[in-house]
Amino acid sequence: MDYELAVIGAGPAGVAAGIYAIRAGISTIVIEEKMVGGQIVISPWIENYPGYENISGMELAEIFKNHLKKYVEPHELEPVKDISKTEDGFEVGTSKGKYEVKAVIFATGATYRMLNVPGEKKFSGKGISFCATCDGFFFKDKKVAVIGGGNAAAIEALYLKNLGIDVHLIHRRDQLRAEKTYQEELERKGVHIVYNTVVCCFNGDQKLESIELKDVNSEERRTEEFNGAFVSVGLVPNTELAKDLGVNLNDNGYIKVDDFQRTNVKGVYAAGDITGGARQIVTSCAQGAQAALASTEVLGKQYPF
């Protein structure tokens, strides 16, 4: 074996798994296709993670990375291409090589869900974005639409508003799903909220220029000019690699796990957003730690639960 354990993904769940695994005496490789931190890297502010009253996602990600590096050097910018079963465990194939391991923890998180309407792919990166903190600066003093109604959409809208942007939050229902505190902040900051409205298509020439909208009650359509649009309608769990191994998913497409983060495949565990649930940093960290300690059962190093 090259390593006893492979942790796939280095968001909060993967970082916690790596730290706990190494401290439990497990030879571990942590592989991340992008940067350590996962989704928190693009979070403007985090206010509900114990110990940090207010901290930017990038700062917290850097703290996580430095902590992880005290135990193991993460393999950043190394996408995992495939994982297959072997006689003794699993073979993990990446863009840079292959690794033989005895156990695997999936902490691959989730990616942004798209609206799948005309013009969305064409103007992605040309007026349409899925990350306000990444691209918001380019729309200062301009008019943008934020599509969605949950906490993520509210946070995006508030972040953009604080940049001096004219923000219109477009939601398909008659009330937002975001927490009350966010809704109150949206009202206080003067974010325009457009209820009962869906996006039909994105229009423009070389870049986004307007959005065709439809009122879900009257079916009336109208086209409104926008300089940009930020799509925030949820996440899709990154489960392709797990499915290839025969890991079971629930009805919403998330990996099924037991109380110890075990999947139905022996030696395979999952933690973090990929398992659904609350999808919070604190729960992801807890699941990552639990998965790492549970993996000792297939490594001959049973943790004394």
- What is the CATH number assigned to the segment(s) 128-231? 3.50.50.60
Q: What is the pLDDT of residue 230?
A: 97
Q: What is the pLDDT of residue 279?
A: 80
Q: What's the chain look like in SS3?
A: CCCCEEEECCCHHHHHHHHHHHHCCCCEEEECCCCCCHHHHHCCCECCECCECCECHHHHHHHHHHHHHCCCCCECCCCEEEEEECCCCEEEEECCCEEEECEEEECCCEEECCCCCCCCCCCECCCEECCHHHHHHHHCCCEEEEECCCHHHHHHHHHHHHCCCEEEEECCCCCCCCCHHHHHHHHHHCCEEECCEEEEEEEECCCEEEEEEEECCCCCEEEEECCEEEECCCEEECCHHHHHCCCCECCCCCECCCCCCECCCCCEEECHHHHCCCCCHHHHHHHHHHHHHHHHHHCCCCCCC
> Would 5-112+235-298 and 128-231 be classified into the same CATH topology?
yes
CA–CA gap between residue 239 and residue 274 (Å, rounded): 7
* pLDDT beneath 50, residues of the chain: none
Q: What is the pLDDT of residue 30?
A: 98
Q: What is the pLDDT of residue 44?
A: 67
Angle, in degrees to the nearest 10, between helices 12-23 and 57-69: 20
**Could you tell me the fold of the domain covering 5-112+235-298?**
FAD/NAD(P)-binding domain (3.50.50)
N-terminal to C-terminal alpha carbon distance within the chain: 26
pLDDT (tens digit, 9 = 90+) per residue, 67-110? 999 999 999 999 999 999 999 999 999 999 999 999 999 999 99
Q: What is the pLDDT of residue 157?
A: 96
Q: What is the pLDDT of residue 305?
A: 59
Active-site residue, 135 included: yes
Active-site residue, 200 included: no
Q: What is the pLDDT of residue 297?
A: 92
Active-site residue, 131 included: yes
Domain boundaries, the chain: 5-112+235-298, 128-231
Q: What is the pLDDT of residue 112?
A: 83
Q: Measured over all CA atoms, what is the biggest interatomic distance in the chain, rounded to whole angstroms?
A: 65
Q: What is the pLDDT of residue 1?
A: 78
Pick the catalytic residue: 82, 88, 134, 258?
134
